[in-house]
Structure 1
Amino acid sequence: MIQEILLNVLQIFIGFSGGVAVGAGFVAFIAVLGIIPRLIQLSKTEKYIKVYGAAVIIGLFIGAYFSFAPISTSQPILALILWGLFHGIFNGMLAAALTEVLNVFPILTRRIGMESYVLLFMMALMLGKVFGSLFQWIYFVPR
């Protein structure tokens, strides 16, 4: 009996410590690279900075809850397409912000001689993320 309680307390401690470590890494990733401030600057929506912060925090809590809760919902195909579209837009914007902060695309396009095709390259990346997310949600999410 005591061993079970100690084992459960140890598991709770390890799980909480792992969550704190991953959360701290995520915050450091977002803060050090300045992805969200750069996204705000590019979209010229500085007046909504509190909304961005709240959206990140609420999104993290909801994502963590849905990751661990045994919830299964059966949604119509249109809802899954919309959900996949939102995932694709988020992933695409995050990838674009990260690569812009790190100057990956300018360096890459100069090295392979495609300076005039940067817009097409970015659109291909964004559409690939959107369609990849749609495919994942339509094909792999059980209904």
Structure 2
Amino acid sequence: MILNILISLLEIIIGFSGGLAVGSGFVAFLTVLGIIPRLIQLSRTSHMLKVYTACVVLGSIIGTYFSFTNVTWSHPAILLAIWGIFHGVFNGMLAAALTEVLNVFPLISKRIGLETKIITLIMAVVFGKIVGSLFQWLILVK
């Protein structure tokens, strides 16, 4: 009985420690990429900093919850489309931020001769991620 309690306590401590490590790494990753500060800068919404912080924290917590549970509910296709758009926007911004940090777009645009169309190239990647997420949520998940 006591051994089972100690083992359960050890599992709780290890799980919590792993969660803290992964969560810290995720936040550090977002911070290094500068997604949120860049989004705040472009949208001129610095007065909503607490909202951005709350959205990242709540999104991480809710995403973790849904990853570890078998929660299902009946939902219309429009809700899936909205959910897919949110995923696509986030994945597109993450991919764009990562490639911007690594200077991938300037190198690719020079090699394929699109120096003057770099915004079009970035938007193509972002919209491609959105369409991919919509496809996943509307076709594969439904």
- Using structure 2 for the length normalisation, give the TM-score: 0.86
Q: Distance in 1 between matches of 2:140 and 2:52?
A: 30
SS of match in other structure, 2:71: coil
Q: Distance in 1 between matches of 2:90 and 2:51?
A: 16
- Using structure 1 for the length normalisation, give the TM-score: 0.86
Residue matched to 1:20: 20
Q: Does 1:126 align with 2:110?
A: no
- The one-letter amino acid of 1:41's match is Q
What is the count of residue pairs matched by the alignment? 142
Residue matched to 2:105: 105
Deviation at 1:20, TM superposition (A): 0.8
Deviates more, 1:10-19 or 1:94-103: 94-103
- The one-letter amino acid of 2:137's match is W
Structure 2: tracts of 5 or more residues without a match: none
- The one-letter amino acid of 1:50's match is K
Structure 1: tracts of 5 or more residues without a match: none
Deviations 1:98-141 (A, max 9, x none): 32233321232123332133233222212211111111112332
Deviations 1:53-92 (A, max 9, x none): 1211121122122222331111111111111111111211
Higher relative contact order (CA 8 A, sep 6+): 1
Residue matched to 1:42: 42
Residue matched to 2:87: 87
SS of match in other structure, 1:78: helix
Q: Distance in 1 between matches of 2:74 and 2:99?
A: 36
Residue matched to 1:115: 115
Deviation at 1:48, TM superposition (A): 1.8
Q: Distance in 2 between matches of 1:122 and 1:34?
A: 16
